[in-house]
Amino acid sequence: MKINIKKPKYFKEPKMAPNAKKTLVSRCSITDDDGKSLETPGEIYLRVANHMAKAELNWGNGTEVEAAREMFFESMRENRLIVTRSTLYEAGNPTAANQLSPCFVIPVEDNISSIFENLGKAAIVQKNYGGTGFNFSKIRPHGDKVRGVLNAASGPVDFLQAYSAALSKVIQGGKRHGGNMGILNVDHPDIEDFIQVKDEDQTIKNFNISVGVTNEFMEAVQDDKMWSLVNPRNGEVVKKIKARALFDQISEHAWISGDPGLMFLDRTEEDNFTPSLGLLNATNPCGEQPLLPFESCNLSSINLDSHMVKKGKDWTVDWDTLAQTTRTIVRFLDNMIEVNTYILPETEKMVRYGNRKIGAGVIGFGHVLFKLGISYNSMEGVRFARRMAKFIKGEFEKASLELATTRGVFPNFDISTYKGTAEKYRNSTMFTIAPTGTVSMIANTTSGIEPAFSLGYERRTSFEKASENKPTEVMTYLDPVFEETLKERGLHKKTIIEKIIENGGSLHGIDEIPEDLKKVFVTTHDISWKYHVKIQAAWQEYADNSVSKTINLPNEATLDDVKNAYMLAWKERCKGVTIYRDGSKMFQVMATSKTKRLEK
C-alpha cells in the first residue's frame, strides 16, 4: 500500500549513485503484494520526514511541523542526515508497526519464569526490527543447587543457547535474523565455557558475545595475579584461576572466531547518569549503545563526507553546516522518541518518560581523511578525530540544551547526576558511533568511523533463503573518492583498477600508484591495530554512549596482536573492543579478493 503524501514545492529527488539508490529502494521502500517497490528515494525520505515532523505538534503548531519536515527532508536529500535502515522502512509506513528503535537491552534474572518471560519480550522486539542485548551474569552456574537439589542448574551458557535457538526463528522482514549481544561477566564461574561457545561456525550465529571485564581484572592480568570466580547466587568463591590465563583464553578464542569481545564495565558505568535505575552492563548487538534494563535508543548519523567543501584544489570541513546538521539530528531523534510505537510498556517508561537517550552518530570519517590528505594510520589522523569528536559533542550538547528550554529536561533529570547543575539537557545521552553497514552503502561513503575497507571490493548482501541465513547477492564497489582522485591524476585505467582489486583493494605493492597516494589511501588491513584502537579511543573520549568499531586484523595476525589490542583498548579508555581476523568466519559480510582466496 503506497502512502500518498502531497509533494511540497521543495521536493526534489536526491542525486544518488546507482548502487546507493538500489540499496535504499530495495531495503526501505513500501512494496505491493508482489514485493515490487512503490516509492522512489525522494518519496521514502519525504515519508520519513513527514512522520518525524508530526511530533512538533506536541510543542508548537502546523507552521513548525512544516518547517521541521522541510529541514528533515532537505538534510536527507542532501545526504547530510543518514537515517537508520529500519527507520527508513518503518516510519510512516501504514503496513509496518512504526517501531523505530534498533537498540534494546532486556534483563535476565536468576529465575526460570523471568528468563522465559523476557525471552518472549525479546522475540517481540526482534519481530519489530529491534536488536537485543543481554547480560547473563545473574544466572547461577551450571550444576549449582536449585531449591536444595544438587547439580540442577542449567547455567548461563545453556540459556544463551536457548535464547539463540528461539530467536533464530524470528525473521525480520522475511529476510534476516535480528542481532543479539550476549555478555557474561569475567568473575562468573561459567566464564570459560562462555568464552569458547562460538569456536565452531554456525554456533549461536545470531549472537555476538562479549566478556564484561572490570579494571580490577585487567590490573590482575597486568600483575599476573590470581582471579576469583564467584557464584552470583550466594557470593561464594567457586574457583581461583590466574587472571592472565583467563585473559589468554579470551584472546585465543577471539583470534579463532572473532568472539568474544570485551566490555569494559567500569569505564561504561562512568557515563551512567541515572545509576539508581540500574547498571550499564549490557549493550545492543554491535556494542555502541550501553543501556539500562528495558531501555532502548534511537540512532541516526551525520554524513561527515557531505560536509566537505572544495576550495580551489583543496578540501576543507564546512564547520558551520556541520553545526547546523548536529542541531537537525538532535531534533530529529528527540522527535522520534515521541512518534515511536513502543512495543513494550517498560521501554516507553524508560525512554519517553525517563532518560530520553538518543544516539546521534557519524559516518564517512574515512572519506574525510582521504579528502584532507591525512593518513588514518597516523597520529595526525588521531588528533583530527579528537578535534572533530570534540566539536560535534559540543554542538550536540548545545542542541539538547536548546530543546530543553521549550520541551523541558529529560523526565529523570531529578534523579540523575545532572541534578543541581546547569547541564539541563533534553536527552540524558546523545553521542553514539554505530557501525552503519547498510546505510553507508546508501550514503556512498565509509562506514561509521572505520577506514575504507578496501578501495575495490565485494559486499555480500541480502538473504535469499532466510532459513539458511546466508548472504547471496554480491555487489562490487570502487571507492568513489579514490576513483575521482585516479581521474584527476590521469591514473583511471582499467589495468590499474584490476590490479588494485586483485590486490585486495590495497595500493601496497602497486608500482603505478605514486607514494603520496599510497600514504593517504590506506585501507583496513594496511592499518596497524594500534591506530585502529587509537582512533576508536579518540572518538570515545567524547561519545557519552559508546563506539562500535572493529579492530581489523589480517589473517596472519598473531595471538599476541589480539592480546595487545585488547590491553591497549582498556588503557586508552574505550568502553568496549571487538577484533576480527580476516577470514576467520565462514560468512564474512565484506570481502576482498584476498579474503576469497583464504576461504577456498
Give one DSSP letter per residue of 98-163, joined into a string.
-----EEE----SSHHHHHHHHHHHHHHHHTT-EEEEE-TTSPPTT--BTTBTT----HHHHHHHH
User: pLDDT of 356-403, one tens digit each?
Assistant: 999 999 999 999 999 999 999 999 999 999 999 999 999 999 999 999
**Rounded to whole angstroms, how far apart are CA atoms 219 and 443?**
42
In a domain? residue 97: no
Report the C-alpha gap between 273 and 416 in whole angstroms. 5
Low-confidence ranges of the chain (pLDDT < 50): 463-467, 597-600
Mean pLDDT of the chain: 93
Task: Tell me: cis bond preceding 260? Omega within 30 of 0 counts.
Answer: yes
> Residue 166: which domain range?
113-277
Q: What is the DSSP letter of 290?
A: B
Q: How far is CA 575 from the centre of its chain?
A: 13
**Domain contains 227:** yes
Give the three-class secondary structure for 171: strand
Report d(CA 513, CA 151) in Å as an integer: 65
For helices 319-339 and 41-53, angle between their N-to-C axes, nearest 10 degrees: 70
Amino acid present at 582:
D
Task: Reduce the DSSP state of residue 361 to 3 states and report it.
Answer: strand
Is residue 345 one of the residues assigned to a domain? Answer: no
Specify the length of the chain in residues. 600
Is residue 230 domain-resident? yes
Contact 180, 166 (CB under 8 A): no
pLDDT at 437: 83
Q: Note the pLDDT of residue 590.
A: 54
Q: How far apart are CA 594 and CA 385, in angstroms?
A: 29
Query: Is the residue at 260 inside a domain?
Result: yes
DSSP per-residue string spanning 7-40: PPTT--PPP--HHHHHHHHHHHS-B-TT--B---
- Tally of domains in the chain: 1
Describe the crossing of helices 41-53 and 62-77 by its angle, rounded to 10 degrees.
Answer: 150
Cell of 230: 564467584
- Residue 212 located in a structural domain: yes
Cβ atoms 20, 444 nearer than 8 A = yes
- Burial of 205 from C-beta contacts in 10 A (0-12 / 13-18 / 19+): middle
Report phi then psi at 118, rounded to 5.
Answer: -75, -25
Cα-flanking dihedrals φ and ψ of residue 16, to 5°?
Answer: -135, 145
Nearest residue to 71 via CA among 398, 444, 324, 397: 324
Q: Which helix (H) or strand (E) holds 256?
A: helix 243-257
The most distant pair of C-alpha atoms in the chain lies apart, rounded to whole Å, by: 78
Say how far apart CA 217 and CA 236 lie, in whole Å. 18
Q: At what angle do helices 559-571 and 243-257 cross, to 10 degrees?
A: 110
CB 334 within 8 A of CB 58: no
Residues annotated as part of the active site = 284, 286, 288
Three-state secondary-structure class, residue 350:
helix
* Cβ proximity of 263 and 181 under 8 Å: no
Grid coordinates representing 160?
544463551
User: Do the domain assignments include residue 537?
Assistant: no
Identify the three-state secondary structure at position 571.
Answer: helix
Rounded distance between C-alpha atoms, residue 79 and residue 74, angstroms: 8
Q: Distance between CA atoms of 293 and 118, rounded to whole angstroms? A: 11
DSSP state, 269?
H
The predicted pLDDT at position 446 comes to 95
- Tell me, yes or no, whether 304 lies in a domain: no
- Collapsing DSSP to helix, strand or coil, 595 comes out as helix
Distance CA 409, CA 427 (A): 7
CA 568 to chain centre: 21
Three-state SS at 2: coil
Q: How would DSSP label each residue in 32-87?
A: -TT--B---HHHHHHHHHHHHHGGGGGTS-HHHHHHHHHHHHHHHHTTSEEE-HHH
Angstrom distance (rounded) from CA 240 to CA 560: 24
Angle at 124 between CA 429 and CA 470, to 5 degrees: 95
Selection from 212, 545, 229 nearest residue 358 by Cα? 545
Query: What would the DSSP string read from start to end of 468-528?
Result: TT-EEEEEEEE-HHHHHHHHHTT---HHHHHHHHHTTT--TT-TTS-HHHHHHS--GGGS-
Closest C-alpha to 443, from 92, 82, 124: 82
- Residue 151's pLDDT is what? 83
- The DSSP H or E segment spanning 211 is strand 207-213
pTM above 0.85, yes or no: yes
Give the burial string for 328-345 (b: 16+ CB within 10 Å, else e). Answer: bbbbbbbbbbbbbebbbe
